[in-house]
Structures are given as C-alpha cells and as structure tokens.
C-alpha cells in the first residue's frame, strides 16, 4: 500500500503533455525536500512500444487501464488522453473508486462535465481541470477562488493559440489564410486536420467550461453560437486597420437580458484595448467582476510545458488536500444557473464588406435594405476598384443592430442585382471606453 507521507499518481496518456507531467513527477521524486511528496505509480498508453521522450522506471508503462484505475497505490489519476471516449469512462471509474482526478481534457468537460462534477460531489473525490482552458494561464482557479466574492459580468477571451497565430500573421504580413495555415501546420501550431481550431470547436469547448464555473450555468457546445475564421481575408485586416480595429477570434460569455449569451466568432476589436495586442500563439482571458472590475490574464495557452504546469498545479493542490482535508470552490457542482440567451438577441455594430457594381445607386439600394431592417449606417468606405470587372469593394460600418435584423438584411443584400458578393460580415466587439 502507499506510504501515507506520499501521494501515488497514475497517468492515462503519455503524449507530449503526459511526458512533460511524467518528467515533473519524477523530478519531484528525486528531490528529498519536495512537499507534498509524489510517487509515480503507473502510466497507461495505447502502444507501449512507441518511443517516448521521457525515460520511465521499470514496471511503470502499461496498456492496461486497470494498472492505474484498479491500483490501490494510486490516489490521483491524471487524464491527458483527450477526446470523450474512453476518457469519460476512465474518469468515472476513477472517481467511483475514490481516486481523485486531474484532467486537461476540454472536450469531455464541455460535453459531459456536468455528469463528472455530479459524480465528484457524490463520491467525495476531487475533480480538477485547470489545464483544460488557457494552458498555463491560471484562469479556472482564479475564477473559483480569488474571484469567488464577485458576480462575474462577462468573460472575453482569446483561448485558441492556433487561430490567434494565424490571424496575427495575416494582420501583420497581409498574408492569405491558406498560406498562414500551412505555415502554422509546419511549425506545429496547427494539426494536420485544423478543423477543431479554425472552425472554433476548441474555443467553444473552453468557453463552455468557463461559463459553467464563472456563471454556474451549464451549456452544451451545441448550444453556443460558433463561427470560425475561414472567411477572414487579408484585405479585412487592411480595411479594419483604417477604421481603428484589428480582428481576433473571441470567445465571449456575457450576462444579457437576464440570461447568459455565449458566442465564439471573429470580431473587430479596437486596437487600443489590451486583448487587441495579444499576438502569436498567446492567449488572454478578460474577466469583469462587479467588485474587481476588468482584469486580464495572459500567457501561453497551449504547448506541453504550459499545460503540464497547470496539470501539476492541480496535482499538488489535490495532494495537499489529501493531507489537510476539505474541498475547494472548484468542486462545486453546476446548478441550473442562468438561462441561455439566443444569439438572435445579440446587439452590436457590424462590419460588412461587399463586392459591388462600381456605378451610381449601389449604396442607396444597400442602405434601403438596411433601413428596412432598422439598421443605420455609421460609415462607408469605397476601397479597391477593379476597373476591368467594373466592381469595387464597399465597406460599411453600422450602428448597433440586433443580430436577427442584420442576418435578415444580409440575406436580402446578397440578392441585390448590384451586389456581386457579400464577402464578409464581422461583428464589432464593443468597449465602453472606446467611442
């Protein structure tokens, strides 16, 4: 059996993050002054013959999940496999066995987190998941502990490093989306299949987790408005810059009309606010509380070491609690919380880029459609002119308008005989300090 002075840890998964966690555990084992003391008891992998970046003691590696889940010497199970299956079953089994669980798995928490949190409360086993959002940024424990006295009003976040890298490069170099995506894949920022990142599934999972903790409101990923970055073009950055904005993929949770509005989409952001200055693969979470006001947490949102940092922070937190007892605020289950406000009720300014016929009367027709939808125009720019095709880029900025009205107007504008294409429609993220 385990030594009461040590805490036995078992890993499910030994990829880049798992290997970094294993290295950290082994380093603490070798340090006689470390506290609390950890003991590495097992690691479960799919293929034991695969080369690893970490050298493990004999008898640690196994393809049998029971070597960790059924091992009485393992008190803390670290799940870094990813995906919903079999991770959900493994985490559930560990909790039912009285083991504490630390996970970095955003997908399982977004899709089945309510079940896991309820099971954690039922069994008295801890479930920690700091590494599931923001990599090395300590956002979850900050929300649960340091900001526990606040009513959180809103969260705005850049929580996908891949898309932020792509958009940053497009903005700074005027490069096309496909070219920057290929570069991001070569550098290892983007997967061979980039769907989870560029189509905003990853960010959607993460804002679901943040909303559960900050607003105590459950939201399945399917209930969150999601729009990726594939339609953003280099010229959108050029035009946005002339208007005083840049473009970011934002994940937003905000109290709205007595409920909670959750949305993930590209947005024009004023260039002089902190989140606009977050470039490359970095992440930032902006939180506004009723007492603390706005604050920003920024750091590496992905990668083996930042994620392992968050995992190890949770492991050590659990190890201390095993010795001292008690449960922290992150162990609260999620009640019904706020109702979800539909995206159709969102209101903001809009940026609209059209390819239109370069002749008189075009703006009047477009303005007429917008006026019929109760949308007023703030400014108009006529940009690149293609004399051969007889077209021009028309950039329209609106005053605040309801999402439902804008979508109806956009459908009509696409059918106007003077409009070749409605190339992009991007929401403008409002900041009170910016006129």
State pLDDT tens for residues 354-389. 999 999 999 999 999 999 999 999 999 998 888 888
Q: How many other CB atoms are found less than 10 A from the CB of residue 139?
A: 29
How far apart CA 170 and CA 57 sit, in angstroms, is 46
Q: Is 291 exposed, middle or buried (0-12, 13-18, 19+ CB in 10 A)?
A: exposed
Token look-up 């604050």 returns 295
How far apart CA 254 and CA 256 sit, in angstroms, is 6
Helix axes 87-96, 106-123, angle to 10 degrees: 20
CA distances from 55 to 19, 26, 29, 42, 305 (A): 9, 10, 14, 13, 17
pLDDT at 434: 41
Q: How many other CB atoms are found less than 10 A from the CB of residue 411?
A: 11
How far apart CA 320 and CA 281 sit, in angstroms, is 33
Can you give the pTM of this predicted structure?
A: 0.93
Q: Is 11 exposed, middle or buried (0-12, 13-18, 19+ CB in 10 A)?
A: buried
State pLDDT tens for residues 307-327. 999 999 999 999 998 876 544
Tokens of 281: 């693969």
370-399 burial, b at 16+ Cβ within 10 Å, e below that, comes to: beebebeeeeeeeeeeeeeeebbbbbbbbe
204-229 burial, b at 16+ Cβ within 10 Å, e below that, comes to: bbbbbbbbbbbbbbbbebeebbbbbb
On the question of pLDDT at 35 being above 90, the answer is no
pLDDT at 325: 53
Task: Let me know the angle formed at the C-alpha of 391 by 385 and 397, rounded to the nearest 5 degrees.
Answer: 75
On the question of pLDDT at 95 being above 80, the answer is yes
Q: Is the dihedral of CA 352, 275, 250, 238 positive or negative?
A: positive
> Torsions phi, psi of 122, nearest 5?
-65, -40
How far apart CA 403 and CA 425 sit, in angstroms, is 11
Q: Mean pLDDT across the chain, nearest whole number? A: 93
Domains of the chain in sequence order: 6-128 (3.40.50.720), 139-300 (3.30.360.10), 346-428 (3.30.70.260)
In 105-233, where does DSSP find H-type helix? 106-123, 139-141, 161-173, 177-187, 195-198, 201-214
pLDDT at 33: 85
Find, among 128, 130, 143, the residue nearest to 301 by Cα.
130
Query: Does 206 participate in catalysis according to the annotation?
Result: yes
Percent of the chain scoring above 90 in pLDDT:
83
State pLDDT tens for residues 399-434. 999 999 999 999 999 999 999 999 999 999 998 754
Tokens of 61: 């590696």
Which of 106, 206, 305, 388 is the catalytic position?
206
Find, among 275, 254, 249, the residue nearest to 264 by Cα.
249
């Amino acid at each position: 059996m385990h030594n009461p002075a040590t805490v036995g840890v078992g890993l499910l998964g030994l990829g880049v993050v798992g290997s970094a966690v294993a290295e950290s555990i082994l380093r603490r084992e070798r340090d006689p002054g470390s506290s609390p003391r950890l003991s590495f008891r097992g690691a479960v992998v799919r293929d034991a013959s695969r080369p690893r970046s970490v050298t493990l003691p004999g008898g640690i590696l196994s393809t049998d999940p029971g070597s960790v889940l059924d091992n009485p010497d393992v008190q803390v199970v670290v799940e870094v496999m990813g995906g919903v299956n079999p991770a959900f079953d493994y985490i559930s089994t560990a909790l039912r066995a009285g083991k504490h669980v630390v996970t970095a798995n955003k997908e399982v928490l977004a899709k089945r987190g309510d079940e896991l949190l309820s099971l954690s409360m039922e069994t008295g086993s801890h479930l920690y998941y700091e590494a599931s959002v923001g990599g090395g940024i300590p956002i979850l424990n900050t929300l649960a502990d340091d900001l526990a006295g606040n009513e959180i009003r809103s969260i705005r976040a850049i929580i996908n490093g891949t898309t932020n890298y792509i958009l940053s490069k497009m903005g700074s170099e005027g490069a096309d989306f496909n070219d920057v995506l290929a570069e991001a894949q070569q550098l290892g920022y983007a997967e061979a299949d980039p769907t989870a990142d560029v189509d905003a599934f990853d960010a959607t999972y993460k804002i679901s987790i943040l909303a559960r903790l900050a607003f105590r409101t459950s939201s399945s990923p399917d209930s969150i408005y999601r729009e990726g970055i594939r339609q953003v073009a280099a010229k959108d950055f050029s035009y946005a810059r002339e208007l005083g904005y840049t473009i970011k993929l934002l994940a937003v949770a905000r109290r709205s009309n007595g409920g909670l509005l959750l949305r993930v989409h590209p947005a024009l952001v004023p260039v002089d606010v902190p989140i606009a200055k977050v470039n490359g693969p970095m992440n930032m979470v902006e939180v506004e509380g009723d007492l603390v006001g706005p604050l920003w947490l920024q750091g590496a949102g992905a990668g083996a070491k930042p994620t392992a940092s968050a995992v190890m922070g949770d492991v050590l937190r659990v190890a201390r609690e095993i010795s001292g007892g008690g449960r922290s605020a992150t162990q609260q289950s999620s009640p019904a919380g706020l109702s979800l406000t539909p995206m159709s009720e969102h209101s903001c300014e809009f940026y609209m880029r059209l390819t239109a016929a370069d002749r008189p009367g075009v703006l009047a027709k477009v303005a007429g459609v917008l006026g019929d939808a109760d949308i007023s125009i703030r400014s108009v720019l006529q940009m690149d002119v293609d004399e051969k095709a007889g077209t021009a880029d028309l950039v329209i900025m609106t005053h605040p308008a309801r999402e439902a009205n804008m979508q109806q107007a956009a459908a009509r504008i696409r059918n106007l005989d003077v409009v070749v294409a409605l190339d992009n429609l991007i929401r403008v993220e409002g900041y009170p300090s910016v006129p």
